[in-house]
Amino acid sequence: MAHTLPALPYAFDALEPHIDAKTMEIHSQKHHKAYVDNLNNALKDHAELAAHDIVSLLRNIKSVPEAIRPAVINNGGGHHNHSLFWEIMAPNAGGEPTGAIGDAIKATFGDFTKFKDTVKQNALTQFGSGWSWLVWDPTASAIKTIKKPNQDSPLMDGHVPLLGCDIWEHAYYLKYQNLRAGYVDAWWNVVNWKKVDELYQTAKAGK
């Protein structure tokens, strides 16, 4: 089964002024597409992996042959991270989370401001490229914030990613240049909490 580039669930300019249309276009149509193409290329001689979807490949990364494992970590991770990223953003979004995820954030971090501070701190202290994440940890039965380098997927650690802020320069450089903090501050205005709540409830139910 070939992996495919998902269509963006909104127009390139839908997240303006927080994320500019040109960044969205290049990010999805060039960067994300390259991860998908490179993943398919890495898998092309491995028919035994053809039945695995991207989540299964990453969760079971240790069973991927060593010769192609780095390519699957980088490009499969990039594919899944970005597929999630488009979904957890939306126009006319942002604000404070409500529902089950809103309750879990308050219970875990004290309040929404403290939660945002930890996500931002993780974003700003990730040296080079990577992601600042909110994940579900099934072992601890809890949500937690983490940062990971490159395109390393939280799925490889047994975590379920719920919310991710892409802090590669390609995610923000056209509009924010070197000001990663300004990008992270603006990004909260496009977070699709309804989707994050769905992901949280599905993860918590163990599905």
Using CB under 5 A as the criterion, which residues of the chain lie in contact with Mn ion when the complex forms? 166, 168, 171
Task: For residue 62, give every residue at least 6 positions away whose Cβ sits within 8 Å of its Cβ, in sequence order, or none.
Answer: none
Q: Closer CB to Mn ion, residue 34 or residue 96?
A: 34
Which residue is nearest to Mn ion, using beta carbons?
166
Q: Closer CB to Mn ion, residue 166 or residue 197?
A: 166
CB of 82 to Mn ion, least distance (A): 6
Q: Respond yes or no on whether the N-terminal peptide bond of residue 17 is cis (omega within 30° of 0).
A: yes
Six-digit token string for 49:
């992996």
CB of 170 to Mn ion, least distance (A): 5
Q: Closer CB to Mn ion, residue 29 or residue 60?
A: 29
Q: Closer CB to Mn ion, residue 81 or residue 145?
A: 81
Task: For residue 70, give every residue at least 6 positions away whose Cβ sits within 8 Å of its Cβ, in sequence order, or none.
Answer: none
Six-digit token string for 9:
């669930």
Gap between the Cα atoms of 121 and 144, Å rounded? 14
Q: Closer CB to Mn ion, residue 195 or residue 204?
A: 195
CB of 2 to Mn ion, least distance (A): 21
CB of 150 to Mn ion, least distance (A): 11
Between the CA of residue 9 and those of 34, 89, 171, 195, what are the distances in Å?
19, 9, 17, 12
CB of 26 to Mn ion, least distance (A): 10
CB of 176 to Mn ion, least distance (A): 14
| Rg of the chain over all Cα atoms, to the nearest angstrom | 17
Instruction: Kindly report the number of other CB atoms within 10 A of residue 4's CB atom.
Output: 11
Q: Closer CB to Mn ion, residue 43 or residue 171?
A: 171
Between the CA of residue 145 and those of 43, 54, 123, what are the distances in Å?
31, 23, 10
